[in-house]
A and B are shown apart, each in its own frame.
Chain A
Amino acid sequence: MSKSKTQERAALLQGTLDMLILRTLLYGPAHGHQIGKHVQRTTNDFLQMQHGSLYPALHRLEQKDWIVSKWEVAPDRNREFKYYRLTAQGKKQLVLEQSKWKRMVEAVARVLSTAAEES
């Protein structure tokens, strides 16, 4: 019982995480650390990026061919990092996920507002 619940929650977060990563990469190539930091910064630390989910998510997206990776020297560090880049397919996916997310938010909002009126 408890097992299936955690799986549901993870799946929900996972979907969101994928979208956040793809969205971040829309601005240009970035490595794992940058992606994590960026999400954290833009949400004013509201969303804490767990490394334990970030890296598996990155590799999963790479496996789906939505992003590609390459070892490149960082301009400021003079050291190689693994940079991820959005593919055309990934861009399409991002559009898809964003519209899905919007519909989801609207739907949830509608449910919440009707619930408020009734009570």
Chain B
Amino acid sequence: MKWWWQFRKRGADVERELQSDLELEEEEQRDHGASPEESRYAALRSFGNPTLISEQTRAVWSWNALENFLRDVRISVRTLFRSPGFSVLAVLVMALCIGAATSLFTVMRSVLLRPLPFRDPDRLVMIYENFRDAESNAQWSDKTPVAPADYLDWRAQTHGFEDMAAWYYFPPNLTGEHEELPEMVQAGGGSWNLFPLLGVNAAIGRTFTESEDRPGENVVLLTWSLFQRRFGGDSSIVNRQIHLNGKPYTVVGVLPKWFVYPDAEVQLWTPYAGIGADVISHHEYHFSRVVARLRPDVSLASALSQVEAVQYQLHMQNLHAPVAADVISTTLIDDLAQDVKKPLIILLCAVGCMLLIGCLNVANLMVARSAARQREIAICSALGAKRITLIRIQLIESLLISMAGGITGVLLSLAATNWLVGIWKDLPTAQNVHPDGVVLAVACALIFGAALLAGLLPAISSTSKSAIAETSSRTPSHTAAGGQVRTALRKTLLTVEIATTVVLLIAAGLLLKSFWRLRTTDVGCATDNVLTMRYSLPGKKYDSPTKVNAFNETLLERVRALPGVRAAALGSTVPGAGYGTDDLFTIPEHPAVAAGAMLPEALYRTADPGYFSALQIPLLSGRFFTDSDRTSADRNGRPKTVIISDQLMRQYFPGENPLGLHIHSMRGNADYEIVGVVGDTRYQVGQSDKVTTYFSLLSGDNSTGLTLVVRTSSDPLRISIPVQKVIAELDAQLPVSHVLTMEQIIEQSLGNASLSASLVLGFAVMSLILASVGLYGVLSYLTIQRTGEIGVRMALGAQRGEVVRLMLGDGLRPAFYGLVLGLAASVGAVRLIQSMLYGTSPLDPAVFASVAATLLAVAALACLVPAWRASRIDPMQALRTE
């Protein structure tokens, strides 16, 4: 405020100086003998206009520009208050558009643009294996997790990276020091160098040492959130023990609060090698994520080419196994945001379109208003206002509108961002989503950009010489010609608006249709009234297959006895719940696979005898598992029988009856007799079918955890507590997890398809409303302008119907041009969303047609009212006002 005080002081100083000098002049005149009055006039005469002088003097201090600006702001505020309806509408439009844009940008900035909180985050990359054929890549797009032996070879044999670390997810059963309070948690198995590589030190204690990253070393690191939540932030937990899957682990440290990687679900970390020496030696178990830090003096390409060479060698050495021939890398920040990057960019584009439409609409409103103010502008211009001043005043008006809208919008966006982050799944959490300086700067830029876009065009057109000349020289009834410039401008603006709306509507339509397709996919099993929950029997307590079987069978027996339960069964997983595990197999009865070709791959599932009937997966031929299967057993004690999916039969036994033939499973390393063929199921919504093998669960196998499936006669969620009570009766320390209905599982795998689709739809509907308001405005304005002409037409015998047709045609023409333009632009724009579509062609004719129909209908509706009003014009009245 100092400058304001100085400004006031300077002004007063100038006044005082002039006053004192003027008085002196006056005194001198009096000294020469003039009368007081005469001397005053003489002084003024010789002095000139004191007000003008003071203004000119003050201009020296360049406060003048500010004063002018303040005056213009005053005028603009007054003008805006004179038409509150217009102002409120324009501010609201701007607030919505700028608010939505700011919210999305806040998310984008936090997720994609702000550097990760790690040491030198720019040099961190993720490396994945990359299969060269599309089919093998389908499951992971093109980034397949790395097999542990591959990672170890990369690390040992390449030199382009400072270091490479690896980690994997695993879900242990966490119990306390005395095995109390069981809880299924998500955990990370990270190599000892992961934390130094990321530049993370333990907040309490230490991270892993190299010697701890060996099988059998039971140490654990807690994340800050688990430390606070479960251990009350008591640092004496360090060096004490907790239990994971019944085994004691020593807590060596607690990770800092800011460390949330890879996501907030991971609660604790154990050393990478803890998964077991036999697993680590494998080249085909794809479960690790590899983080690498590039050496500063090496380019990514050359560092990667070394890894590629090593990987190709491994591929050539393991031709029968799924060992990728290639590698692919991505930056760490993109890797964290990979699931949200595309939708985010699409949403930003959508909100950008909406902002453009909002600006055009305000521009349109201002053009309409400038028509009403043409007289005022002509008078100002005649009184000597420069064109630049007139433009400036109008620009200040649009600036005020967009500033009021922008500030409201930014406030709105604070709330909207929280809401968005709350409902947006898969949003990376390594960064807090919150607005920062850059976001505010961008919001300001948006405000000024919007003001310029909305204000400049109408300002320039309304102050052009021809526009002013027309108003000042012609009588009101002949302004049609003058209005034509403006009308043409408004129609152009409208065409752009409508074209943009069409693009948005088509994008929304495609996303919605694709979402609907996803939602209604048949995963191949019952989805109504099915409850699932997972548990994992701790190996220490259930150390023999007999104990496992006993628990499972008692559980099923008791659950089946619960009222409202139609069927209950156990399996490794259910359809729709994800890829799970897979297995390589050969068919002993068939000729051996050619050397160099990969062995056939199938999803690997375990199921108990009741699994298929409980999930209503149809039996196509043969039989389900039965207790009599127990007579034959492989090395794990598993019955040597297998059930295959329909697709496996079609693909590998074409024209053959597979029943009685065998599958040699690499996992079981034995031949299994095919006893049945069941219908296909999808492992995930949106993925294509994959061949599946089912092995009998009767072995007491407990390696991967189990999913309990309960089909009920009514709301499945109501049966969850009774089932959990049954489990607690059997083993009070056994936690259950993932208590979900089949419907919820499918909903989860839809991810953000519904969110993106509904947000884009929201933006599109907003745009449609804005465009139709614009259309309505233009036509109403046109009607008023052409009142005289229409009066003449009607006086000469034009029918009301013809007038309606005339006016409708006038309004629908820009709508039609916009539609054609928009449809053409959409053909290009849909490429952007092509990869997000499922079962929907980007040029889906139904979507295109319905968008065109909707738009034309809305446009016709918006034009109908003004057209009808035009046809009601009383010719006498119209002619008299001439």
Do the two shown chains form a genuine complex with each other?
yes
Task: Find chain A residues with CB under 8 A from B57 CB.
Answer: 55-56, 58-59
Report the minimal beta-carbon distance from B529 to chain A, rounded to whole angstroms. 85
Q: Is the interface of B mostly helix, strand, loop or mixed?
A: helix
Q: Within 8 Å of chain B (Cβ to Cβ): is A32? A: yes
Contact B21 A33 (CB under 8 A): yes
A80 close to B61 (CB less than 8 A) = no
Docked complex Cα distance between A31 and B20 (Å) = 10
Chain B residues lying within 8 Å of A32, measured Cβ to Cβ, are 17, 21
Contact with B along A91-105 (1 / 0, CB 8 A): 000000000000000
Chain A 32-58 interface mask (CB, 8 Å, partner B; 1/0): 110000000000000000111001101
B residues in contact with A33, CB < 8 Å: 21, 24-25
B48 beta carbon closer than 8 Å to chain A: yes
Closest to B58 in A: A59
How far is the CB of B3 from the nearest CB of chain A, in Å?
15
B60:A81 contact, CB within 8 angstroms: no
Residues of B within 8 A of A110 (CB): none
A113 interface residue, CB < 8 Å from B? no
Given A33-B25, A51-B53, A55-B14, CB of A60 within 8 Å of CB of B60: yes
Known: A32-B17, A81-B24. A59 touches B48 (CB 8 A): no
Q: At the interface, yes or no: B372 with Cβ under 8 Å from chain A?
A: no
Q: In the complex, how many angstroms separate the beta carbon of A56 from the nearest chain B beta carbon?
A: 5
Interface flags for B15-46 (1: CB within 8 Å of A; 0: not) read 01110110111010000000000000000001
Q: Which residues of B contact A77 (CB under 8 A)?
A: 24, 27
Which of A56, A58, A80, A81 has the most B CB atoms < 10 Å from its CB? A56
**Docked pose: A55 CA to B53 CA in angstroms:** 7
Asked if A52 and B53 make an inter-chain contact with CB atoms under 8 angstroms apart, the answer reads yes
Bound-state Cα–Cα, A33 to B28, Å: 11
B47 touches A (CB below 8 Å): yes
Chain B residue nearest to A62 in the complex (CB): B60
Closest to A48 in B: B46
Chain A residues in 8 Å Cβ range of B46: 51
Q: Which residues of B contact A56 (CB under 8 A)?
A: 53, 56-57, 59-60
Nearest Cβ distance between residue A37 and chain B, in whole angstroms? Answer: 9
Q: Of A32, A51, A58, A80, which is in contact with the most chain B CB atoms at under 10 Å from its CB?
A: A51
| Residues of chain B within 8 A of A60, CB atoms compared | 60
Chain A CB within 8 A of B52 CB = yes
- Alpha-carbon gap, A45 to B399, bound state (A): 52
Interchain CB contact under 8 A, B20 and A79: yes
A8 CA to B365 CA in the complex, in Å? Answer: 43
Of chain A, the residue at the smallest CB distance from B62 is: A63
- Determine the chain A residues whose CB is within 8 A of the CB of B48 once the complex forms: 50-52
From residue B50, how far is it (CB to closest CB) to chain A in Å? 8
Query: Which chain A residues in 60-103 approach chain B with CB under 8 Å?
Result: 60, 63, 77, 79-82
Which residue on chain A has the smallest CB distance to residue B56? Answer: A56
Chain A interface size, under 10 / 10 to 19 / 20 to 34 / 35 or more: 10 to 19
**Complex CA distance for A49 and B49, rounded to whole angstroms:** 14
Contact residues in B for A59 (Cβ distance below 8 Å): 14, 57, 60-61
Bound Cα distance from A76 to B693, whole angstroms: 116
**Whole-angstrom distance between the alpha carbons of A98 and B19 in the complex?**
32
B21:A31 contact, CB within 8 angstroms: yes
Interface string of B45-86 (1 = CB under 8 A from A): 011110011101101110000000000000000000000000
Residue of B nearest to A60 (CB): B60
Number of A-B contacts (CB under 8 A): 51
Nearest-CB distance from A9 to chain B (Å)? 16
Q: Give the CA-CA distance A5 to B48 in the complex, in Å.
A: 24
Residues in A with CB closer than 8 Å to B52 are 52
Q: Are A82 and B20 in contact (CB under 8 A)?
A: yes
Give min CB distance, A3 to chain B, whole Å. 11
Smallest distance from the beta carbon of A74 to chain B beta carbons, Å? 8
Which residue on chain A has the smallest CB distance to residue B18?
A: A55
Q: Residue on B with the closest CB to A35? A: B21
- Minimum Cβ distance to chain B for residue A13 (Å): 14
Please indicate the chain B residues that have their CB under 8 angstroms from the CB of A82 in the complex. Answer: 13, 16-17, 20
Check if A55 sits within 8 Å of B20, measured CB to CB.
no
- In the complex, which residues of chain B have a beta carbon less than 8 angstroms from the beta carbon of A63? 60-61
CA distance A32 to B23 in the complex (A): 12
Nearest CB of A to B219, in Å: 72
**Which A residue sits closest to B21, measured CB to CB?**
A33
Query: B59: nearest residue on chain A (CB-CB)?
Result: A56
How far is the CB of B32 from the nearest CB of chain A, in Å?
13
Give min CB distance, B43 to chain A, whole Å: 10
B429: min CB distance to chain A, Å: 56
Chain B residues 307-339 with CB under 8 Å of chain A are none
Contacts of B20 on A, CB cut-off 8 Å? 31, 79-82
Tell me, in angstroms, the Cα distance from A32 to B18 when the chains sit together.
Answer: 9
Which partner residue on chain A sits nearest B57 by CB separation? A55
- Determine the distance from Cα of A56 to Cα of B60 in the docked complex, in whole angstroms: 6
* Min CB–CB distance B414 → chain A (angstroms): 44
A50 to B16, CA, bound (A): 19
Closest to B47 in A: A51
Cα separation A87 to B61 with both chains bound (whole Å): 19
Nearest chain A residue, comparing its CB with the CB of B13: A82
Rounded to whole angstroms, the CA-CA distance of A4 and B60 in the bound complex is 19
- Smallest beta-carbon distance A47→chain B, Å: 14
Distance (whole angstroms) from the CB of B450 to the closest CB of chain A: 34
Task: Give Cα A79–Cα B21 distance, bound, in whole angstroms.
Answer: 11
Q: Across the interface, do A55 and B56 meet the contact criterion of CB distance under 8 Å?
A: yes
A63-B60 Cα distance, complex, nearest whole Å: 8
Nearest chain A residue, comparing its CB with the CB of B24: A33
User: Which of B16, B17, B25 has a CB less than 8 Å from the CB of A55?
Assistant: B17
- What separation, in Å, do the CA atoms of A50 and B14 have in the docked complex? 16
- The complex places the Cα of A33 from the Cα of B53 at a distance, in Å, of 14
The distance from the CB of B265 to the nearest CB of chain A, in whole angstroms, is: 65
Taking the nearest CB of chain A, how far is it from the CB of B26, in angstroms?
A: 11
Smallest CB-CB separation from A61: which chain B residue?
B60
Question: Distance (Å) between the CB of B400 and the closest chain A CB?
Answer: 31
A83 CB, min distance to chain B CBs, angstroms? 10
Docked CA distance A77–B61 (Å): 29
CA–CA, A56 and B53, complex, Å: 8
1/0 per residue B253-297: CB within 8 Å of A? 000000000000000000000000000000000000000000000
Find the B residue at minimum CB distance from A57: B60
Q: Given the complex of chains A and B, what is the CA–CA distance between A77 and B31 in angstroms? A: 12
> Do A52 and B56 touch across chains, with their CB atoms under 8 A apart?
yes
Chain A residues within an 8 Å CB radius of B59: 56
Complex CA distance for A81 and B728, rounded to whole angstroms? 98
Q: Are A81 and B56 in contact (CB under 8 A)?
A: no
A50 to B361, CA, bound (A): 52
Bound together, the chains give a CA A63 to CA B52 distance in angstroms of 20
User: How many angstroms from the CA of A59 to the CA of B47 in the assembled complex?
Assistant: 17
In angstroms, Cα B651 to Cα A52, docked, is: 99
In the bound complex, residues from chain A placing their C-beta under 8 Å from that of B23 are 79
> Which residues of chain B have C-beta atoms less than 8 A from A58's C-beta?
57
A82 to B13, CA, bound (A): 9
Chain B residues closer than 8 Å to A31, beta-carbon distance: 17, 20-21, 24
Q: How far is the CA of A17 from the CA of B21 in the complex (A)?
A: 19
CB neighbours (8 Å) of B54 from chain A are 55
Identity of the chain A residue whose Cβ is nearest the Cβ of B27 in the assembled complex: A77
Q: Give the distance in Å from the alpha carbon of A51 to the alpha carbon of B50 in the complex.
A: 9
Bound state CA distance, A56 and B54, in angstroms?
8
Smallest distance from the beta carbon of A14 to chain B beta carbons, Å? 11
How far is it, in angstroms, between the C-alpha of A14 and the C-alpha of B23 when the chains are bound? 26
Q: Which residues of B contact A79 (CB under 8 A)?
A: 20, 23
| 11 more A-B residue pairs beyond the given contacts A51-B47, A80-B20, with a C-beta to C-beta distance below 8 A | A31-B24, A32-B17, A33-B24, A52-B56, A55-B17, A55-B56, A56-B53, A63-B60, A77-B24, A79-B23, A82-B13
Chain A residues near B (Cβ < 8 Å)? 31-33, 50-52, 55-56, 58-60, 63, 77, 79-82
Q: List the 10 closest A-B pairs by CB distance, nearest first.
A: A59-B60, A33-B21, A55-B57, A82-B17, A56-B56, A60-B60, A56-B57, A56-B60, A51-B48, A33-B24
16 contacting pairs across A/B (C-beta < 8 A) = A32-B17, A33-B21, A51-B46, A51-B47, A52-B49, A52-B52, A55-B17, A55-B18, A59-B57, A59-B60, A59-B61, A63-B60, A63-B61, A77-B24, A77-B27, A81-B21
